[in-house]
Structure 1
Amino acid sequence: MTRQKEGMIGVMAAQTLLGTIGLCVLESGAGPVTVAFYRCIVGGLALAAYCFWRGDLTCIFRAPGRVLLPAVASGVLMAGNWVLFFEGIRQTGIAVATITFHIQPFLVVLLGALVFHERLRPVTLIWIALALFGLVLATGLTGAEFAADRSYLFGLGATLAAACLYAGVTIIAKGLTGLSAAQLATIQFLTGSLVLVAFQPLSPFELSAGQWVWLTVIGLVHTGGVYVMLYNALPKLTTPVIAVLLFLYPASAIVVDALVYGQLISPGQLAGLGLIVLASLAVTLNWGRRPDAAAPTKPPVSCRASSG
């Protein structure tokens, strides 16, 4: 098997698995804080074991403060992102929340322009505007269809807030050096578990056996397992291939929501997702920009780790 095929299989498996995380969140019956806490602690320990197996776990403790402090800050943002995203799933459904969350690459572009003074070209703004229009279609909040209840609107707001926090995580990771992706994620998850303790998640003794199963799957499979698959697969692929395969995540989520909960998205919502996908590919692959003006092609920063 070629290196590229191995990478494609790894990313496809990881993104398809991420599309099932909403099912586990809902079936666990636990609140967003509890789910996020156990995802952090179980996933963090799994990645710490992975780093130990690779022989670079101790490097985390030797990292200087200028590296550790941003990593810890990104862990706080990651924890908040998961809590808000899981709340969005509860209020709007798996498909809508997942599609809405995928507006975050465009938030990264805008934040990058603000933080790193990266130039925003007119064509980029056009693609972002198209993505925002797609988001309006995907959420179903258009014209006469604007009849959503308060909990639905709250869920959309929570999901958009989660996307903003994850964009912050990505921006911090983009400017951070001295840690591997696995080391950074380990710090983020263990930091997140410490932060979320203050918000009183259910204790291990308050969880039923069934809840333990779902939360363990989220921690070991959707976090530790998926992240390791992505770390090993992404370096084997080119940016265009990565950009396309990353959208298996929302596609998988839509299928899961339809098959398990009977939640079918409308043609308008599907068209909205299509516009978001189109705009994301355009921004990632520099469509519409002159060859001499385009930046060197590299994997999109959002590939560093998927929120899921």
Structure 2
Amino acid sequence: MSQSESPIRAMFDAQRTAVKQSQQLFKHGMATQRNVDTMALTGLKGQESLQRQQLELAQAATHGYVSATAAMLPSDDAPEVHRTIDETFGRLKQTHTEFYGALEREMERDVDSANELSTEFVDALDEQTDQLLEMTQSIEDQTVQNVDEFSGQLREQLERTQELQDRLEDQLENQTGDVEDLLERQAEQIEQFQQQLEAQTEAVTQQIPVQGTNEPHTKIETHPEHTLESVDGIDADVREQLSEAGIATIDDLTRAGPEAVAEAADVSESQAEEWIEQAEA
């Protein structure tokens, strides 16, 4: 028995017990009625009405029981079941009416005749109740089967969903690794290209002839007296800053002017003027 089947079976068992208890209660009332030796005709009508109400209540309870069962897992058999219930209780009501009609006619003549009719009615009640319980048993079996099938399908769907999720995660992980490898290869290629470009630029620069001659271009050596090293206060860091601004020689310094020198070296204009005065001296 599956985990889902156990509570469903328990619920059906409880409902069957309720139906049987209702049947026993009704039979007990009939047994009590059979034990009455004398019944006033005025009280007979009241008893008939009371038992008729009990039949109506039993019919309504049975409809409720079947509706609650069908609500758990809709079934196409529900309308047929309700129709069968109405037919069953219709026959019971007919039997009940006939019984009391005959009872009124026979009551004064023979009490034994009334007991016989009462027994027939109880037997009919037992038969119809058994049919009802068999019908609800069929509904129970179908309901349990449908629940088990649905549970199995749900488990299979969850398993397929988990498998799909695992595959997607694997694919994402593989694609992420491929992208990282591609980026690394591109970075290496870019670095190699930059190195090749620098090498080609240097080679081309060395091969360009000096204007007015056929000699290739070579690095121009600047005389120490023409460099900024001869100016007091201009150290290597300041020379680098000035060089980035295009001021690499004494001539560059004097032509630049105090404002441009101060801005390039990040010093005051007065300091720049002192450097320029040293360069012009």
Mark yes or no: TM-score above 0.5.
Answer: no
Structure 1 or 2: larger helix share? 2
> Which bin holds the TM-score, normalised by the shorter protein?
under 0.3
TM-score for both structures, normalised by structure 2: 0.26
Larger radius of gyration: 2
